[in-house]
Amino acid sequence: MNTIRNKTSILFIATALLALLLGMIFGILSGLQYILPEFIKEILPFNSLRPFHVTSVIAWIILCAVGGIYYYLPNSEALRLYSARLLQIHYFLFLIIGLAVYYSYFTGDFGGKEYLEFPPYLMLPILFGWLLFGINYYKTMVGKIRNWPVYYWMWGTGIIFMTYHLSEAYLWLHPEIKNNFIKSLAIQWKAGGSFVGSWNMLVYGTAIYLMAKIKGDDSIGRNRKSFFFYFLGLTNLMFGWAHHIYIVPTAPWVRYVAYGISMTEWIILFHMLYEWKKSLPEETKIKNLLPYKFLVMADVWVFLNLILALLFSIPAINFFTHGTHITVAHSMGTTIGINTTILLASVLYIITKNKPDINLSFISKGFRIFNVSLLLFWLCLLAAGVKRSHWMYFTKGIPFSEMQSQSHWIYVAFLLFGTGIFIGLLVITLPVLKTIITTYNLKGINENEHP
Amino acid sequence: MTHKKTKIYMGCMLALVSVFGLYNFTIYADDDAQYKTPLSEKALHGQALWQQNNCFSCHQLYGLGGYLGPDLTNVFSAENKGPEYIKAFLNSGVKTMPKFRFSEAEKEALTTFLKEVDASGYYPNYNATITPDGWVTIEYKNEKSQE
């Protein structure tokens, strides 16, 4: 059995799993308010529940990706982490900020913009945490490893761009931008779109890292093609965000650039199809590994969501899908289907390395429940989006409340399958959390903790 | 010694980041009067209230926000709606809407914010033109047509 270096990295992962479960509970409560409007409205109104849900799920993605990177550097790569103290400060800082954000939502103390609803001053310690992560990462890596494989580039640029775009999200505090409504809205969505791209750098970097390690094939992270797709992804992160605001009256050139850049993602789609055809005769031994199965499923979700994203990056289609649940289907498909599946693969990879005798059959069942529920949930969102788009563009005089009433059964199904996702995730995460807690108590786990 | 490939990748990164810097500067500094949508002091107060009460968790402006409530981009100028309709809704606590306790001054500020948002453009943009190359030419308010 391996010993775990940097137990704080495991704390990041355990906290991330708790955030995921909390995020799912808040999601279900939000879904209940869709069909029972008065449900716990006095205690947790929807304007609190939604940020609780969104922030918890974002916390899951970020904490798990960051924890994984902190884990892989000293454990798999045998690198000496620059500072275990900085890592601990980073963890406890994020934990305290997380609790402060929850408190602000519970008391209704908002003030930020969508997705970052907490009072703006809380962003300062968050940025400081990212700075600590950046220092630790680059001080650990620079000069120690030559000719970085693509996943190190992805993690490195993910940290820098995350810090940059989180700062950019607060440019609205500048009077020149705050006083100009459309400009402020555009920059808000520029920052938001790009910080999602930044965490994708951390998560997709983890996926390539895992694939290289599972297959024992170092070339996966070093070949030219990997770098081509890395730079293509980075270009989309930088310039592709404006497909979120095609319909907002900004200067047309901003939207032209986004249209052109977004269409380059067709290359990724065609490449995926080509690669799948090639990789069919995979070794059975690898195919049966659970983290590998998770990665393959993440590929399926990438495929489905890429098609959706490509379609609504075409302005003529976006015109009808914007402002509908079709956009939500895409964000749920990417955060749950892609990000969560990759991160669960990462968690399982770490856990099985440290405790190979963990019972995986139970987790496999949870994985099936999770994927079937997610597919049905995703389809419900698409149906709700089509219904809303039809109401917006092809009906006249039907009030909003009537359209919502007509969609009642879609929302009921949406809640049902959302609960299915929660059950699936519960079946996956509970044994993992139990293993983490048990492994923590093993004597000698801190033996290799760096000073 | 740095590997040749790494040097190429670093060159690509430098080029990309340089273009990105220029692009960002253009967006941040853009002062094209044609697309300017200034908010008055009262509307800024309304915007602050909008954020402090997290209104976009349920409502959208330009289709951006939560979908539990209706889009409010053009609620100010919509037929059978307008300022009194907005004010009547604010403290109503109807359905999922929280029971807010906005003062008259705050209701006025929120209504002014929605009035000035309304003046910035259309959503849905029913008079937009879809062209065969997939592009959509949107209609701007106040004759601010583009292209």
Chain B CB contacts of A46 under 8 Å are: 57-58, 66, 68, 96, 98
Q: B71: phi > 0 → left, psi -120 to 50 → alpha, else beta; which?
A: beta
Are B98 and A148 in contact (CB < 8 Å)?
no
Q: Is residue B2 part of a domain?
A: no
Name residues whose C-beta falls within 8 Å of residue B56's C-beta, 6 or more positions apart in sequence. Answer: A113, A114, B50, B64, B65, B66
Are B27 and A186 in contact (CB < 8 Å)?
yes
Q: Is residue B94 part of a domain?
A: yes
CATH superfamily for domain A7-440: Cytochrome c oxidase-like, subunit I domain (1.20.210.10)
Q: B82: phi > 0 → left, psi -120 to 50 → alpha, else beta; which?
A: left
Question: Residue A438: which pLDDT band, with cuts at 50, 70 and 90?
Answer: confident
Q: Which residue of A has its CA nearest to B131?
A: A316
Q: What is the pLDDT of residues A356-386, one digit of tens each?
A: 888 889 999 999 999 999 999 999 999 999 9
- The pLDDT of residue A152 is 95
Q: Is residue B29 part of a domain?
A: no
Spatial separation of the C-alpha atoms in residues B55 and A389, rounded to whole Å: 22
pTM, two decimals, is: 0.94
Q: Say if residues A74 and A80 touch (Cβ distance below 8 Å).
A: yes
Q: Is residue B82 part of a domain?
A: yes
CA torsion through residues A70, A72, A75, A77, sign = negative
Q: How many CA atoms lie within 13 A of B141 on its CB side?
A: 20
Whether the pLDDT of residue B63 is over 50: the answer is yes
Q: B81: phi > 0 → left, psi -120 to 50 → alpha, else beta; which?
A: beta
Q: Is residue B24 part of a domain?
A: no
Are A247 and B63 in contact (CB < 8 Å)?
yes
List chain A domain ranges. Answer: 7-440
Q: Is residue B45 part of a domain?
A: no
Q: Is residue B22 part of a domain?
A: no
Minimum-distance CB partner of B37 among A181, A234, A318: A181
Are A182 and B121 in contact (CB < 8 Å)?
yes
Whether the pLDDT of residue A288 is over 70: the answer is no
ipTM of the predicted structure?
Answer: 0.93
Q: What angle do CA B19, B25, B30 make, to 5 degrees?
A: 130
Bridge partners (DSSP) of residue B60 are B65, B71
Minimum-distance CB partner of A249 among B3, B35, B134: B35
Q: Assign residue B117 the CATH number of its domain.
A: 1.10.760
- B132: closest CA of chain A, how far (Å): 9
- For B136, the domain range is 58-147
Q: Say if residues A345 and A295 touch (Cβ distance below 8 Å).
A: yes
Helices vs. strands in chain A: H and E counts, helices first: 18, 0
- A220: closest CA of chain B, how far (Å): 15
Q: What is the pLDDT of residues B100-121, one digit of tens each?
A: 999 999 999 999 999 999 999 9
**Region A388-395 average pLDDT:** 96
Interface membership of B38 toward A (CB under 8 Å): yes
Q: Judged by CB atoms within 8 Å, which residues 73-132 of B form the interface with A? A: 95-96, 98, 116-117, 120-126, 128, 130-131
Domain count, chain B: 1
